[in-house]
Structure formats: structure tokens, C-alpha cells
Amino acid sequence: MARTVGMILCGGFGKRLRPITEKIPKPLVEIKDNYTILDKQLFDFKSAGVDRVLLLTGFLSEKIQERYDDEYLGVNIEYIREDEPLGTLNAIKLGMDSLGNHEQSVIRNGDVVADLNIKKMIELGKKSDYPLSIFITKMVSPYGIVEISGDRLVSFKEKPILDYYINGGVYFSQGEIDFGEFDVGDIEKTVFPMLAKENNLGYYKEDGLFWMAIDTTKELEEIKKEYKNREDKPWGYEKVLIYTDKYLTKELFIKEGYQTSFHYHRMKDETMYIVNGAGYIEFEDRKEYFGKNDTIRIKPTEKHSIVAMENTILHEVSTPHLNDTERVKDYYETR
């Protein structure tokens, strides 16, 4: 079976994030205290079963190596440094030179934070008729929009999801990429249009998930707000929405094909409200299947695991016992 290797493009100057990026490379920018963009990306690779990652570095490469050395969360890390910045194409070429004959790769832009299901992208990419696949997702308008009818304005919509797809900055390659006659420049402007014209470019699509490229200070502030009460998990994330002395509300996002630990709560009495998705809650003696708009109550001391058959968002409303979780069995190694 072909092994999948991760690659992360970490060599950019991050000019639009200066002065922050004058002393640290953009992938080491923190999205919450002591948690960087690159921490999140390596965590996602580990959660998807990718245990070898090539960091394609350049500007302030030594800062990245100081933080991670040759291992992070059990992921083996190698550094490929581009001495002269010649664009993403050249950096990826250097990375490809380090792959074995039977190794495939997932390539990521080093400034993207996204909740996509890398494991599923790999599985589908291996079965694809196309040698290279691009992750695409629907575009969120950076501005609010207005709707008009005749000569009047009838409504406002705040930053809606548009009916267009964007390149999400994550790519799966079944083997060596055909670079054609291109040696330098950005792969998105050179090789990708060539492969699309030759009908050799596929895509992996996920809609409705969190995606952001951290390119400006405005976007950095937005991602910090997202992560203020959020903790990434091997299966997705957990976010505190409301916490008072009377009740607690959390949002859980569980990726398709993943499940939470098998666990219980000593005191917490909770009800799950399924916002989107489908799956089941596995108890010791039964399974309770759920779909959109369903509710499921979980009493104190009931051992359970939440299993997602589709990307699932649920709201967990409970008594105010924030850290009342006893894990019986874990299914992942990234904790």
C-alpha cells in the first residue's frame, strides 16, 4: 500500500502580517496562546494517520526547526530549505525529490486553517482517475451583500456563502507531479491550469466547514476570535458557546468517519441537539442513531461515544460541569 507523506509550504515572507512576521515566519503565528497555525496543521496530519511530514521552508527556517526539531506529536519531521525564493512550484519540486517511488503526498499551504477531513481526501484521492486533486470549498463573501428589486433595495445579507468554489490550498498527489516545462513561479498559476486543460486535475469537495487563509491582521484577529473558546480534537473540535452557573452549551464538530473517546460524566446531565449531519451514539448496551434536528439525552455515568457517519455539528446543553469528563477508551494518539 502506498504511503502518504505530508508537505507544508512554510517559506513565505508573510509581508501583509508585518511587523509580526519580521521575527517569526507566518506558520508560527499563534491563533491562540502557544498554538500556532503549523501546530494545527501537524495535529491534523497526525489525526489523519500521516506520520511523515516535509516542511518546505525558506524565510526564518531556523525558527521553525527550533520549535519542532525532528518530531512533533509522533509525526516525523524533515526540513527542505529553499535558499532562494522561487515560488511554490520550486518548493514543491524540492519536496517531490524526497519522496520514494511508492509514496503519495498531501501538500498544504502553510497559512491555511481548515477543518477538512484529510483522511477522507486521501482515501478518495487514491481511488481517483486523476493524478492530482485539489481541495475546494464554497466561497464566503468578504463583504455583506444587498439584494435589489426594480428600483429599490429589499434586503441585506451579512457575508453569505456564495455559489462559487475556491482553491482551498490543500492538494493530494498520487505520485510525482507533472510540472511540464515550468521550473519556477506559483504552482497555482502555472501547473494547475496546464493540468486542468489536459483533463488531469480532479477535486475533493467539502462545504460548510471552517476555512480561513491567514494573510492579513484582520484575518488573524478573526481566527483568534474563533479559537477563543475552541479546542481542536483528533475528531474535530469542541467550542464553549455559553457557560454560566446554571448551564453549559458547547458546539461539537465531528468529522465523517471519526468518533469521540468512549467516556462518561460523573455529574453532568446533557442533551445533544443535532444541528447538521448523521451518525449514532454508542452506549455500552445499544446504539442510538441521529440525524438533523434530533435530540438525545445522556444521563450522568452513562458511558458513550459519538460516531459521525457524515460531518456532524451538534450543540451539547448540560448542567454546568465544564471539565467533568472521564475517558474510558481513546481511539487516537494525538492527545
So which residues are the catalytic ones? 159
* CA-to-CA separations, 134 to 175, 190, 240, in angstroms, rounded: 14, 14, 32
Look up residue 321 and give its DSSP letter.
-
Q: Which residues contact 156 (CB under 8 A, 6 or more apart)?
A: 144, 145, 146, 147
Q: Which helix (H) or strand (E) holds 118?
A: helix 118-127
Cell 484575518 belongs to residue: 219
Backbone angles phi, psi at 112, to 5 degrees: -105, 130
Backbone angles phi, psi at 77, to 5 degrees: -115, 135
Distance CA 282, CA 271 (A): 15
Q: Is 33 exposed, middle or buried (0-12, 13-18, 19+ CB in 10 A)?
A: exposed
With CA atoms as reference, report the closest residue to 121 among 163, 170, 187, 182.
170
Type of residue numbered 334:
T
DSSP three-state, residue 65: helix
Type of residue numbered 184:
V
Give strand pairing partners of 265. Answer: none
Distance CA 104, CA 70 (A): 21
Look up residue 152 and give its DSSP letter.
E
